[in-house]
Amino acid sequence: MGKVYAKIYQAVFKIGMYIIPWGMPETLEGAGCVTKLPALIKEKGFKKVLVVTDSVLMGLGLLDSMFKAMDEAGVEYVVYDGVQPNPTDINVSEGLKLYEENHCDAMVAFGGGSPMDCCKGIGAVHARRGKTVEQLQGLFRVLRRIPTIFAVPTTAGTGSETTVAAVITDHATHHKASMNDTCLMPKYAVLDPELTVGLPPKVTSTTGMDALCHAVEAYTNHTYNSKLENKLAEDEVRLIYNNLYKAYCDGSDLEARHNMQKAAFYAGRAFTRGCVGYVHAVGHTLGGLYGTPHGLAMSVILPHVMRQFGPAVYERLARLAEVCQMTGKSDAEKAEKFISWIEDLKVKMNIPVGLDVIKDEDIPQIISWAMKEANPLYPTPVYWTEPDFRKLLQTIRQ
């Protein structure tokens, strides 16, 4: 019954996809371009912005060149730097307070997915005064214009600068869930590869694998995709194949960094319509319950889910293998090569095969949250029920 209902739901949603306005942010691109952002903010008529970021980035001085340019351009700013990895509803409330008390009129989301999602959450709760983060989670629950967001990604992974999602954890229940609404897509994105040069290898590798996961999950879903999303997913897999390991080995390789930024951006666009799948549904629960970094969860879970899908994904994975110039006698052989490439890359980048954080007593909760997130919305190649999730969790724990 669940599977039949999911098929009907997805068929209806697929029709809806054609009328949803899928935009993309305007971009500033290139090394050092973050210093041009204040002039853009001024040109668009904004006077005082809330900068949403985290304390690590402030400590590294990564925002200094932008602050200097803001002073020169006469753009006033207030900083909220309390965002934690896997941001919570408390982070959203703290940022919102600053935004409103200081009468800001726009926001700069500066950082990885955590500050960007927190910033979107602040915008949503500001627009829907009186509603909680939890009430706005789900599909199309914000339904209002939120303050303009200028997104400045400093990791190359989440693609939050171009997606309609904001993933926030409830601090009390540890339930990590997503708001999804077209109004959450930032209006502007600043892709400055210099900002990612200082990313530690461990963050480069796992956030890059998150981008790969977006492209692979969107592509293997394929029900909602138009030609554009399929093409974007193929292009981004190729970019990641050619650039992630380079960026990991030599963080100062600006070309590889820029290519990874582009891959993350367009893979974000691909899954915005194509959706993610069970890798994300399970990974989100681990982020909420145990604070597992999102990219790490994605890196660990991705190949296990693809293997568990089995023959249902051979054809799609074989196409991705071809995009990366991998050869084989059959789709099964090419798909196997593609999954093995992911596994080998993980080994080369010191990413573990499994995770030992999962507690026995949490398993029913993990499965229930993952099923709630994924079914019936995500058009996954195989429809999973409780035993399938249990099997995956066992594999991850080994």
Binding site for ligand NAD (CB under 6 A): 54, 56-57, 60, 62, 85-86, 111-114, 117, 154-155, 157-160, 163, 165-167, 195-196, 198-199, 203, 207, 210, 268, 287, 294-295
- Which residue in this structure is represented by tokens 């006698």? 329
Nearer to ligand NAD, 38 or 186 (CB): 186
Check residue 350 and report its DSSP letter.
T
In angstroms, give the least distance from the CB of 307 to ligand NAD: 22
Chosen from Fe ion, ligand NAD, none, partner binding at 279 (C-beta under 5 to 8 Å by type)? none
Task: Judge contact between 245 and 312, C-beta under 8 A.
Answer: no
Task: Judge contact between 28 and 161, C-beta under 8 A.
Answer: no
Chosen from Fe ion, ligand NAD, none, partner binding at 157 (C-beta under 5 to 8 Å by type)? ligand NAD
Nearer to ligand NAD, 257 or 334 (CB): 257
- End-to-end CA gap in the chain: 32
Nearer to Fe ion, 293 or 381 (CB): 293
Nearer to ligand NAD, 2 or 61 (CB): 61
- Which residue in this structure is represented by tokens 């109004």? 183
Query: Dihedral (C-alpha) 305, 306, 311, 314: value to the nearest 10 degrees?
Result: 160
How far is the C-alpha of 208 from the C-alpha of 302, rounded, in Å? 12
CA triplet 362, 176, 151: central angle to 5 degrees?
155
In angstroms, give the least distance from the CB of 68 to Fe ion: 32
Q: What would the two tokens of residue 147 be?
A: 């303050």
Nearer to ligand NAD, 181 or 331 (CB): 181
161 lines the binding site for Fe ion (CB under 5 A): no
How far is the C-alpha of 168 from the C-alpha of 176, rounded, in Å? 6
Task: Judge contact between 31 and 194, C-beta under 8 A.
Answer: yes
Task: Judge contact between 59 and 30, C-beta under 8 A.
Answer: no
Q: What would the two tokens of residue 384 be?
A: 């999973």
Nearer to Fe ion, 89 or 210 (CB): 210
Nearer to ligand NAD, 113 or 383 (CB): 113
Region binding Fe ion by CB under 5 A among candidate stretches 68-76, 203-211, 255-263, 372-380: 203-211
Please pick, from the candidates 210, 217, 331, 336, the single residue that binds Fe ion as defined by CB under 5 A: 210
CA triplet 153, 194, 238: central angle to 5 degrees?
70
In angstroms, give the least distance from the CB of 165 to Fe ion: 9
Region binding Fe ion by CB under 5 A among candidate stretches 41-49, 115-123, 210-218, 223-231: 210-218
Chosen from Fe ion, ligand NAD, none, partner binding at 305 (C-beta under 5 to 8 Å by type)? none
Name beta bridge partners: 327. none
Q: What would the two tokens of residue 101 be?
A: 């008390």
Region binding Fe ion by CB under 5 A among candidate stretches 78-86, 98-106, 188-196, 204-212: 204-212
In angstroms, give the least distance from the CB of 320 to ligand NAD: 20
In angstroms, give the least distance from the CB of 279 to Fe ion: 8
In angstroms, give the least distance from the CB of 167 to Fe ion: 8
> What is the DSSP code string of 29-76?
ESTTGGGGHHHHHHHTT--EEEEE-BHHHHHHTTTHHHHHHHHHHT-E
Nearer to ligand NAD, 57 or 75 (CB): 57
Task: Judge contact between 137 and 377, C-beta under 8 A.
Answer: no
In angstroms, give the least distance from the CB of 284 to Fe ion: 9
Nearer to ligand NAD, 318 or 377 (CB): 377
> What is the DSSP code string of 328-340?
-SSHHHHHHHHHH
Strand order from edge to edge, sheet including 165-169:
138-139, 176-180, 165-169
In angstroms, give the least distance from the CB of 207 to Fe ion: 9
Chosen from Fe ion, ligand NAD, none, partner binding at 198 (C-beta under 5 to 8 Å by type)? ligand NAD
In angstroms, give the least distance from the CB of 339 to ligand NAD: 21
Residues binding Fe ion (CB under 5 A): 210
